[in-house]
Chain A
Amino acid sequence: MVKIIAKGWRPLTVLLLLFIVWETVAIKSGVPDWLLPTPTKIFYEGFNGWFNFYPNLLSTIKLSLLGFALGLLIGLLTAILLHLLPFIRESIYPLLIISQNIPIIVLAPLLVIWFGFGLLPKMIVITLVCFFPITVAALDGFKQTSNELKHYMIMAGASNKQLFWKLELPYALPSLFSGLKISATYSVMGAVISEWLGAKEGIGVYMTLASSSFRTDRVFVAIFAIVALSLLFFSIIVLIERWLVRWQLKGAK
């Protein structure tokens, strides 16, 4: 905890300075609130409108978590499948890269046309942005498995299954976690985009309503909420990583 404070004060100071500059410039130049509200007004709105905003936040959290879980599952399964069946890897891997070049904003309306306004198109959007970093990171991790350890395991009579569960998967964990960190933050963005497709509540809905009624302060509340949520998810993954890969942290010291 002390370490987090010791490390965190620099970016926090920069952020605070940025807010002060923003506040003074916004006041001095007389920009109207609907164009650029001051930070104090944004925090005021966030505070006052909390009970309005809170259900939206909760809904987005649920959607992100669900989407992230699905992305994790599909990402991991894809990686394991491609790793264990090398002849499939060569034909599928390029398709995976193509899937990341499809702009989600363009795809989203199509998904609505095909699948309606339910949960399915939303899950597809979030999964699509989440699974790729996980798959790539896990595949990289599997591939980096030390040859020396692999040779020992095979000589000692490990079956392919044992080789995977006892060596390759644990070996890939540190790499897998770098993918998870990226995906966790992407999942929030994915959830917000998927809410634009049409939802009853959520930060995405709140944002659309706010911008169409020129409530710029509320748009900023939504932006800050998205940033905070992404950071939170990121930190949770880091904590889980510290616990699971603790043998490595000890080594680094």
Chain B
Amino acid sequence: MSHLTVSNISKQFDKNEVIKNLAFTVEKNEFVSILGPSGSGKSTIFSLIGGILSPDQGTIHLDHQVINGKRGFISYMPQTPSLLPWRTIVENVLLGQELQGKKEKEAALDMIDIAGLTGYENAYPHELSGGMKQRVSFIRALLSPQSIICLDEPFSALDELTRLDMQKWLLSIWEEHRRTILFVTHNIEEALFLSDRIIVLSNKPSQVAAEFHVPFSRPREESLFLEDEFLEWKRKIYYSLRKAQAPCSAAYGLEHSNRDKGNTVSIAARC
């Protein structure tokens, strides 16, 4: 049995059907990305796995246990750093462990060093840059005792250069300290660079439209971004993502990713 098994879950808010018959699995120590445009229900999937919401239908298994509507089984990293402003960095890193009832300060201090935050142990969050805060948020999740880490578009609020640095940094740490990771993103390159496997979501109500095993060997370097094979894969996934969306919603998705980069291109005319 897989480590995480999501079996045919559905969820709707009033009349709004967000997820329908969604099914996928994640193996132990695998890095899996879920790819879909904004509003496709990616965060909702995490709320369901995290137990904040219960699926209307279907089950979620962690190993052999059903975790529908049960909290505390995942470790979580949100889009914003969400550090407690009155806690120092080391106290913030320990929070994830603290909520599960055990604290290992030594391990936290070691990880702060590894994360490149030496000297900031006793600083407060407001003294750190956006990228540094996200590092703290990630090692907080990494040090939590749960066996699976869910990351919800953790780098989408960062500028392009910082994002690239963070992706490289995340990989370097993860390749050393393997854990099971479920990563949500709307960025194809990010998913390709980081993951072992990519799950492409369909148009709403979301289902699995396609699944790709990413063949690049590890450790991966930044130069991968420019390799022909990488670009080919990018094209392949891009078409799959487009196909997964109905004609109009494909344009909608495009418009969204363009808006993220700051230039609003209206493609609505194509519909």
Residues of A within 8 A of B80 (CB): 148
Question: Does A62 belong to the interface (CB within 8 Å)?
Answer: no
Kindly state the separation between the CA atoms of A222 and B40 in the bound complex, as whole angstroms: 70
Residues of A within 8 A of B174 (CB): none
Please report which residues of chain A, range 163-217, place their CB below 8 angstroms from some CB of chain B when the two chains form the complex: 166-167, 170, 173
Q: Which 10 A-B pairs have the closest CB atoms?
A: A157-B72, A152-B82, A155-B76, A251-B126, A247-B86, A155-B50, A157-B71, A247-B124, A158-B99, A156-B76
Q: Which of B71, B98, B100 contacts A154 (CB 8 A)?
A: B71
> Considering only CB atoms, which chain A residue lies closest to B144 in the complex?
A156
Kindly state the separation between the CA atoms of A170 and B96 in the bound complex, as whole angstroms: 17
Residues of B within 8 A of A166 (CB): 84, 95, 98-99
How distant is B152 from chain A, measured CB to nearest CB, in Å?
9
A152-B126 contact, Cβ under 8 Å, with A157-B71, A248-B85, A251-B85: no
Question: Does A151 belong to the interface (CB within 8 Å)?
Answer: yes
> Considering only CB atoms, which chain B residue lies closest to A157 in the complex?
B72
A247-B76 contact, Cβ under 8 Å, with A157-B99, A162-B99: no
Question: Does A153 belong to the interface (CB within 8 Å)?
Answer: yes
Q: Which of B52, B86, B126, B127 contacts A155 (CB 8 A)?
A: B52
Q: Is the Cβ of B126 less than 8 Å from the Cβ of A157?
A: no
Question: Does A250 belong to the interface (CB within 8 Å)?
Answer: yes
Q: Is the Cβ of A152 less than 8 Å from the Cβ of B99?
A: no
Kindly state the separation between the CA atoms of A247 and B92 in the bound complex, as whole angstroms: 13
> Considering only CB atoms, which chain B residue lies closest to A170 in the complex?
B86
Kindly state the separation between the CA atoms of A154 and B127 in the bound complex, as whole angstroms: 26
Question: Does B244 belong to the interface (CB within 8 Å)?
Answer: no
Kindly state the separation between the CA atoms of A70 and B72 in the bound complex, as whole angstroms: 38
Chain B, 92-106, contact with A by CB distance < 8 Å: what is the 0/1 string? 000110111000000
How distant is A139 from chain B, measured CB to nearest CB, in Å?
20
Inter-chain contact total with CB atoms closer than 8 Å: 63
How distant is A5 from chain B, measured CB to nearest CB, in Å?
29
Kindly state the separation between the CA atoms of A153 and B80 in the bound complex, as whole angstroms: 13
How distant is A88 from chain B, measured CB to nearest CB, in Å?
25
Kindly state the separation between the CA atoms of A170 and B92 in the bound complex, as whole angstroms: 14
Question: Can you name 15 A-B residue pairings with CB atoms under 8 Å?
Answer: A149-B82, A151-B78, A151-B82, A155-B50, A156-B72, A156-B96, A157-B71, A157-B73, A159-B99, A167-B84, A245-B86, A247-B85, A247-B86, A250-B127, A251-B126
- Measured as residues with beta carbon below 8 angstroms from the partner, the interface class of chain B is 20 to 34
Residues of B within 8 A of A250 (CB): 124, 126-127
Question: Does B5 belong to the interface (CB within 8 Å)?
Answer: no
Q: Which residues of B contact A (CB under 8 A)?
A: 46-47, 50, 52, 71-76, 78, 80, 82, 84-87, 95-96, 98-100, 124, 126-127, 144, 146, 150
> Considering only CB atoms, which chain B residue lies closest to A252 in the complex?
B126
How distant is A35 from chain B, measured CB to nearest CB, in Å?
54
**Known contacts A151-B78, A157-B100, A247-B124; 13 further A-B pairs (Cβ under 8 A):** A148-B78, A148-B80, A148-B82, A155-B46, A155-B50, A155-B52, A156-B96, A156-B144, A157-B146, A166-B84, A166-B98, A173-B86, A250-B126
Please report which residues of chain A, range 111-166, place their CB below 8 angstroms from some CB of chain B when the two chains form the complex: 148-149, 151-159, 162, 166
How distant is B10 from chain A, measured CB to nearest CB, in Å?
21
Please report which residues of chain A, range 197-253, place their CB below 8 angstroms from some CB of chain B when the two chains form the complex: 245, 247-248, 250-251
Kindly state the separation between the CA atoms of A148 and B76 in the bound complex, as whole angstroms: 13
Residues of A within 8 A of B78 (CB): 148, 151-152, 155
How distant is B74 from chain A, measured CB to nearest CB, in Å?
7
Kindly state the separation between the CA atoms of A149 and B83 in the bound complex, as whole angstroms: 7
> Considering only CB atoms, which chain A residue lies closest to B127 in the complex?
A250
Residues of B within 8 A of A157 (CB): 71-74, 99-100, 146
How distant is B132 from chain A, measured CB to nearest CB, in Å?
16
Residues of A within 8 A of B72 (CB): 156-157
How distant is A149 from chain B, measured CB to nearest CB, in Å?
5
Residues of A within 8 A of B75 (CB): 156
Kindly state the separation between the CA atoms of A158 and B50 in the bound complex, as whole angstroms: 11
Residues of A within 8 A of B82 (CB): 148-149, 151-152
How distant is B130 from chain A, measured CB to nearest CB, in Å?
14
Residues of A within 8 A of B47 (CB): 155
Kindly state the separation between the CA atoms of A157 and B145 in the bound complex, as whole angstroms: 11
Residues of B within 8 A of A247 (CB): 85-87, 124, 126
Kindly state the separation between the CA atoms of A189 and B124 in the bound complex, as whole angstroms: 39
